[in-house]
């Protein structure tokens, strides 16, 4: 869905998460609010765009299960 920005080793995950959280916490509240709105809108748009494909795949799977060709 496009929300991964970096990959870190498992043993560095918590420390990196804290570093990102501290960076965000140091920004103005209005900035964080607008950033959150922007990210949520982008994520929602991606989900909405993917719904028709997901429904089509479900229909194809249901049709395949209803009429197995074995």
Q: Give me the pLDDT at residue 70, please.
A: 60
CB of 45 within 8 A of CB of 3?
A: no
Domain ranges of the chain: 10-66
Q: Give me the pLDDT at residue 12, please.
A: 96
* pTM score of the predicted model: 0.50
Q: Give me the pLDDT at residue 2, please.
A: 55
Name the 3-class secondary structure at 6.
Answer: coil
Q: Give me the pLDDT at residue 60, please.
A: 87
pLDDT above 50 (res 1): no
Query: In sequence order, what DSSP letters do the residues of 11-69 get, joined into one string?
Result: GGHHHHHHHHHHHHHTS-HHHHHHHHHHHHHHHHHHHHHHHHHHHHHHHHHHHHHHS--
Render pLDDT for 7-65 as a digit per residue (tens, 0 to 9): 999 999 999 999 999 998 999 999 999 999 998 998 888 888 888 888 888 888 888 88
């Amino acid at each position: 869905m496009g929300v991964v920005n970096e990959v870190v080793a498992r043993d560095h995950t918590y420390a990196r998460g804290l570093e990102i959280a501290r960076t965000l916490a140091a920004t103005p509240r209005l900035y964080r609010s607008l950033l959150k709105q922007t990210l949520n809108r982008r994520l929602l748009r991606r989900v909405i765009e993917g719904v028709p494909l997901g429904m089509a795949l479900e229909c194809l799977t249901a049709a395949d299960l209803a009429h197995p060709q074995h």
